[in-house]
Amino acid sequence: MKRGRRRLVAVLLCCLLVLSSATIALAEEAPAAPSEDTAAQIGDKTENITDEQEPGKEEDSAPIVEDGVAEEEEKIEETEKIEEKNETKDLPEKQEGPLLDSAQNTVDIVSKEAVDALILEPEARETEESDTKIPTLDHIEKSADPSKTAIFYVAAKGVTDDKSGVKSVEFAVWSEKNGQDDLKWYKGAKDGADSWSVGVNAANHKNDTGKYQIHVYATDNAGNRGLVGTSTVTLDHRDAKIPTLDHIEKSADPSKTAIFYVAAKGVTDDRSGVKSVEFAVWSEKNGQDDLKWYTGVKDGADSWSVGVNAANHKNDTGKYQIHVYATDNAGNRGLVGTSTVTLDHRDTKIPTLDHIEKSADPSKTAIFYVAAKDVMDDRSGVKSVEFAVWSEKNGQDDLKWYKGTKDGADSWSVGVSVLNHKMDTGKYQIHVYATDNAGNRGLVGTTTLVSDFVDNQAPTVAASNILNGDIYGGSKVIYLGGVSDQSGVKSVQAAIWGADYGQDDLKWYSLTNRGNGNWDMTLSLAEHGGPFFDEGIYNVHIYTEDVLGNRACVYTTDFYVEPAVASAGDAEVYYYDFFDSIWVYDISCSTGVSGVFYNFYNEYDDIYVEAHYTDFLTSGDLYLDDMIQPYGTCNLDVGVLDMRGRFYIVGQYYFTV
């Protein structure tokens, strides 16, 4: 490089000497100014020199610099020819353009800046060299070698490019079996700083075993791509072995129940993993005539279990063979362990009972309770418990069976109502029967209880509430709470009537049972006189009855219906050529007006308008239009219907024509 610079400087000095000589000659001979075409040519040549000397171009190599010098020499010779050609031409009085005189020509062609550029250009080019190198790789990481699985992983670590940066990494992978017939390219996934990885599945390579070649190619952002590293992995993934079993756990041996349990523990497969476990089970009685396959249930890490019911094996007793088969995810299946269980499950005994608990004796209530405690069966387990109950009065004429309810560990209970036993008092017999899952049933215990319950009272009411708020639409709600009876409530009724005219409007109402001792009803006042129902005090008597027929009035109360004030003002007749219209003013009712009633007729009954309601009200006034012309004495009756459905006469008017 230094030798090239020295050569360039020497060439430039020669150029300066030649140009200086040419300048002196031109100055002495005072040649004419070059023509415009010539000046343009010289300018073009000068620009070419400048363009070739820009830093950072690819042409800035040593050979190109020499070519530039050669071109410069050619330019110099061409300039001399142009000057000789223009010696005979006259010099214009005024010249425009880049060449003003010979001295200026010399400065333009070989200025100091041009020389500096020619000298410094190679050094500048060295700082801006283009990126022609591929990225570099630090190392390759991979799965355990040899790999026992069909999938292995490769990671290219420390892939870097100092100039343009790494754009992508690819992995060329093939097995050495049959050359590169299974070659496959994988695009690496960037999974960290300068790290690219890929997973390779042997299924993409004909499932070959043996050595695999891995070539890593990297590409930078300048487009440089190439091999940056290689590695190999040996695959030994062909799984030909069945899973292994650590041990078998089972129920107590011999088993006293018809169902026993087996668990295969520690079933593992290092290569493809365990897919399923099956249990082949049969009794030794009559060979394998009862052979049955059970699919194990995975109930923990490497643990598979199953429940075996003797009912699936002709209910045989004696020794049972248990063979455990395991299958891995590669399809390898085989026997991994065996065991035996002896069944002594033939249960001919009924369950046992520890003791019986019962209500206070004697019982003062209509219902007493019995509980059978610690009812057990070691072989098949308890299926159900029943209670046979009857009073000693008249033998077993009131015998009734009750199904016990399991209300705890080995505990079964029942509630007995004396209503189911003719309300008998005295001693009751209670016999407890238990059944196991093998079908064995029998008496497991007895007890007695004296009932001293006598019910001769009607149900009682603990709380009541009659809603005395506004009566909308003539309805009122009556509610009773806390109605109860030892024997049970059969019905609740209410007798209601207005107090003003005795019991002429007495009505009986049945209340509805809402549960939890709550009963209610909705009263319609229209049931007590229609639109002319009583106002003032209403009496309410509540009657209850139990299932034994005990009935009584257990509660009385009353409520008040506020009388309404209804009225109408004057009536006025308007005459035109005929008797046309009537106005009745200021119709009102303290409980609201829902409609107006009127009746119009004369003394001879020649004119009669049927009674009807109207809503032709304007500010409380009634307007009757297009009336027939009467003669004699005419009558107009006006009434209102309030918001409760009660009717009131508010005016009677007479007209004489």
| 32 vs 150, higher pLDDT | 150
Q: Which pLDDT score is estimated for 16?
A: 53
Q: How confident is the model at residue 313 (pLDDT cuts 50, 70, 90)?
A: very high
Q: CA–CA separation, 87 vs 80, rounded Å?
A: 11
pLDDT at 336 over 90: yes
Rounded to 5°, the CA angle 648-653-656 comes to 165
pLDDT band at 315 (very low <50, low <70, confident <90, very high): confident
**145-200 residue pLDDT tens:** 888 888 899 999 999 999 999 999 999 999 999 999 999 999 999 998 999 999 99
User: Tell me, what's the pLDDT at 189?
Assistant: 97
- pLDDT score recorded for residue 578: 53
Helix (H, G, I), strand (E, B) or coil at 338: strand
Round the CA-based radius of gyration of the chain to a whole number and report it. Answer: 60
- What token pair was written down for 515? 């549960």
pLDDT score recorded for residue 101: 40
One-letter amino acid for residue 60 of the chain: D
Q: What is the pLDDT of residues 550-569, one digit of tens each?
A: 999 998 888 888 888 888 88
Q: Given a cut of 70, is residue 39 above it in pLDDT?
A: no
Q: Quick one: tokens of 58? A: 């690819």
Asked if 441 contacts 350 with a C-beta cutoff of 8 angstroms, the reply is: yes
Q: Which two tokens stand for residue 224?
A: 């440089």
Write down the pLDDT at residue 355: 97
Residue with tokens 């009467």: 630
Question: How far is the C-alpha of 250 from the C-alpha of 353, rounded, in Å?
Answer: 29
209-240 residue pLDDT tens: 999 999 999 999 999 999 999 999 999 877 77
The residue-averaged pLDDT of 441-447 equals 97
pLDDT of residue 298: 96
* 53 pLDDT above the threshold of 60: no
Residue 628 confidence (pLDDT)? 52
CA–CA separation, 173 vs 208, rounded Å? 12
pTM (2 decimals)? 0.40
Ordered DSSP codes for 236-302: --------B--EEEES-SSB-SSEEEEEEE--B-TTT-EEEEEEEEEESTTTTTT-EEEE-EEEETT
Question: What percent of the chain has a predicted confidence (pLDDT) above 70?
Answer: 73
Whether the per-residue pLDDT at 83 is higher than 80: the answer is no
Over residues 151-165, the pLDDT tens digits come to: 899 999 999 999 999
Please report the pLDDT score of residue 401 as a whole number.
98
Q: What mean pLDDT, rounded, does the chain reach?
A: 79
pLDDT computed for residue 29 by the predictor: 44
Q: How confident is the model at residue 480 (pLDDT cuts 50, 70, 90)?
A: confident
What is the pLDDT averaged over residues 583-587? 81
With a CB cutoff of 8 Å and minimum separation 6, the contacts of 323 are 279, 280, 281, 335, 337, 338
| Calculated CA dihedral for residues 229, 234, 237, 243, nearest 10 degrees | -120
* Residue 81 binned pLDDT confidence (cut-offs 50, 70, 90): very low
Give the N- to C-terminal CA distance of the chain in Å, as an integer.
Answer: 145
Q: pLDDT class for 645, splitting at 50, 70, 90? A: confident
pLDDT at 4 over 60: no
What are the distances in angstroms from CA 69 to CA 44, 60, 79, 602?
Answer: 16, 13, 15, 143
**How far is residue 158's CA from residue 187's CA, in Å, rounded to a whole number?**
17
**pLDDT greater than 80 at residue 441:** yes
Q: How many other C-beta atoms can be found within 10 angstroms of the C-beta atom of residue 134?
A: 18
Residue among 442, 283, 424, 422 at smallest CA distance from 362: 424
* Average pLDDT of span 20-44: 42
Q: What is the pLDDT of residues 242-299, one digit of tens each?
A: 999 999 999 888 887 788 999 999 999 987 889 999 999 999 999 999 999 999 999 9
- For residues 584-594, average pLDDT: 82
Q: What whole-number distance in Å separates Cα of residue 379 and Cα of residue 258?
A: 7
Q: Write down the pLDDT at residue 254.
A: 86
Contact (CB, 8 A) for 579 and 569? no
Identify the residue whose tokens are 């009972």: 353
Largest Cα–Cα distance of the chain, in whole Å? 169
Residue 384 is predicted with a pLDDT of 97
Choose between 575 and 207: higher pLDDT: 207
> What's the whole-number mean pLDDT along residues 19-41?
42
Residue 60 pLDDT grade (very low, low, confident, very high; cuts 50, 70, 90): very low
Residues 64-83, mean pLDDT to the nearest whole number? 38
**What is residue 12's three-state secondary structure?**
helix
Enumerate residues 6+ apart whose C-beta is below 8 A from 254: 341, 342, 343, 344
